[in-house]
Amino acid sequence: MKAHWIFHPRHRKHFHAAFQRGLHAVLVVVGLTAFGTAAVKFLENRSWVDAFYFTSMIVTAQGPSLAPATAAGKMFASLFSFVAVGIGLASITYICGPFAADLESMMQDEQKRRRGESPEE
Q: Where do the domains of the chain lie?
A: 30-105
Mean pLDDT of 4-13: 58
The arrangement of secondary structure in 30-105, i.e. its CATH architecture, is Orthogonal Bundle (1.10)
Q: Which of 1-10, 40-49, 99-108 has the lowest mean pLDDT?
A: 1-10
Task: Kindly report the average pLDDT of the chain as a whole number.
Answer: 80
pLDDT in tens, 86-101: 888 888 777 777 777 7
E strand residue ranges, the chain? none
Contact 36, 84 (CB under 8 A): yes
> pLDDT class for 11, splitting at 50, 70, 90?
low
Q: What pTM does this model have?
A: 0.65
